[in-house]
Structure 1
Amino acid sequence: FSNDRCAPVGASADIELAAFARNCYEFNVAKGASFEDARRQCQAHGGDLIHGFQVNVYA
């Protein structure tokens, strides 16, 4: 399972794609929007938002 299988048709060049455990994740970090607008965008592509997670930084 690769990122190539995750790319939606007509995907913008500024999105980041990742595949993990046979799931696709699309990151639109360059876009600013409200939570509601971002969620609608995700749901229009058959997904939903991931939120409330913490990034672990190891020094």
Structure 2
Amino acid sequence: MIRRCGGQVRAGMGAPYALDFGAVLALADAMGATSALLADVLPHVEPVIVKAYLEQSENAD
């Protein structure tokens, strides 16, 4: 589930700045994942995913 939520980002001015928790939790529900557990884990995973996106975009330039 965590791997799949990486594409659910909020972006502004050409760069992601956060995960779209609503979209992530809807995806989790569709996949039968436990929303309560994800709601607890997502705030800890979010900065790692956003940082990876930012580093990837810096390396692409």
TM-score category, normalised to shorter length: 0.3 to 0.5
The alignment's TM-score, normalised by the length of structure 2, stands at 0.32
- Higher RCO (C-alpha 8 Å, min separation 6): 2
Structure number with the higher helix fraction is 2
